[in-house]
Chains A and B, each alone.
Chain A
Amino acid sequence: MSLKLAVSNIWKSYAGNNVLQDCSFLFDIYGTYVIMGPNGCGKSTFLRICALLEEPDAGEINYFSNNNALKKDVELRRKITLVLPKVGIFNATVFNNTAYGLKIRGVKHIKIEEKVNSALDFVGLIHKRHHNALTLSSGEAQRMGIARAMVINPEILFLDEPTASVDQKNIEIIEDMILKIKKQGAPTVIMATHDTGQAQRLADILLEIKEKKISLL
């Protein structure tokens, strides 16, 4: 794993309520990390802080490449990505949604076409590429979110409850996709779920957030 993530003693509170207290963990090997815990235990907050969407109140997030700490700039942010629980769909076609990360990186048109089609094929949405993405079901939206994240070849892929509001069929498809990513060996997946069975099916490393702290299970 060329990109390592060190979470050191982070604290976070919202409106005076502590959500995370002194959380530390080192993500330094390839594989699928699954963070478990009931709803509202701080999993999302932890992922959002790791994905550089939010700042911790105290403590530090550091990414390392070949033991050098990386600056938290756009260049680093482009090596990691987080699929939000509600995805955050743009009012555009499924194709253009999926192509977004490539377009903002200035990737050539032909390359975009090729990568997006292959990603949409991977998540089983190639037949819907010209549909407006806001018409997708929540399961399809989640799959598109994963395709949109995968096209940019992230080194770390954060998934926040990817199956929380999804039917059984889509849960199976999404779990299957995560297993395929695991088989490919990249990217490293760090996901949050409250589903114990799912955690056990997918995880290489199982973690738990309990009483505002993260620990290995």
Chain B
Amino acid sequence: MDSIIEAFSKAFTLIINFNAELLGIIFLSLKVSGTALVVATIIGLPLSALISFKKFPLKGLFISVLNTFMGLPPVVVGLFVYLLLSRSGPLGFMGLLYTPSAMVIAQTILALPIIASLSNSAIVSVEPIVKQASMTLGATTLQVSLTIIREARYGIMSGVIAAFGRVMAEVGAILIVGGNIAGYTRVMTTTIALETDKGNFELALALGIILLAISLFINSALHLIQKKGMAQTNR
């Protein structure tokens, strides 16, 4: 019990003093996960629109596969990206293994199905009358689609929040493809795993607290925007 209390007090000292190494780790975590989230949204949102608006063969199966991929085990994704980027792999010539870029790729793969699938659900649950109203007002097919996506924006945001939670907390994939190199690919979750192994609980705990605090802050901000959007309505 004493050691836990001691770990907590040391953790707070570390947080208050905010040393450079700690800051670097936090910054890299946010950069990798943030970039992955942006890339996944840029690919995932048009993909979800395509799934929602277009009819194509085996669409049901495609959506089921996408839903399944929402629960992709991070270590499996890590392994897959590792094989892809390793020197003998198809993309080995790019020399991306053990770089932050490899971590972004792995996290993008983890975030993409969540954003695409939840956005698809949000888009298809927009009431048909919105589409009809937009048509009666003279919208082109593209304008109708954009209007529906706009109506689904809060649902889409839920998908992005969920994906953010997943990539920020993830450790397996980035550990495999990033290699947890100090000062280069070491992020909060991989540091926590490493420091716990080393018995260096205070740093692990300090990072754990910071990770939770950052997640709480970002989720609260997104939730507030979402709540504001919903509160104005009768829905």
Contact = CB atoms under 8 A, between A and B. Distances in A.
Nearest to B152: A91
Nearest to B127: A88
Contact of A101 (B138, B140, B229, B232): B138
Interface in A43-85: 51, 53, 74, 77-78, 81-84
A88 B133 contact: yes
A151 to B, nearest CB: 9
A29 B138 CA distance: 23
Interface residues of B, number: 21
Contacts of B17: none
A9 interface: no
Contacts of A88: 127, 129-130, 132-134, 136
A53 B134 CA distance: 11
B143 interface: yes
B19 interface: no
A84 B132 contact: yes
B39 to A, nearest CB: 27
- Which among B137, B232, B233 has the highest number of chain A CB atoms within 10 Å? B137
A51 B135 CA distance: 10
B121 interface: no
A127 interface: no
B233 A81 contact: no
Given A77-B138, A105-B138, A90 B133 contact: yes
Nearest to A81: B136
Contact of B234 (A77, A86, A134): A134
B138 A87 contact: no
Interface of B: 127, 129-130, 132-140, 143, 147, 150-151, 229, 232-235
24 contacts: A51-B136, A53-B132, A77-B138, A81-B138, A83-B136, A84-B132, A84-B133, A86-B129, A87-B129, A88-B127, A88-B132, A89-B133, A90-B133, A90-B150, A91-B151, A91-B229, A101-B137, A104-B138, A132-B232, A134-B232, A134-B234, A135-B232, A135-B233, A149-B137
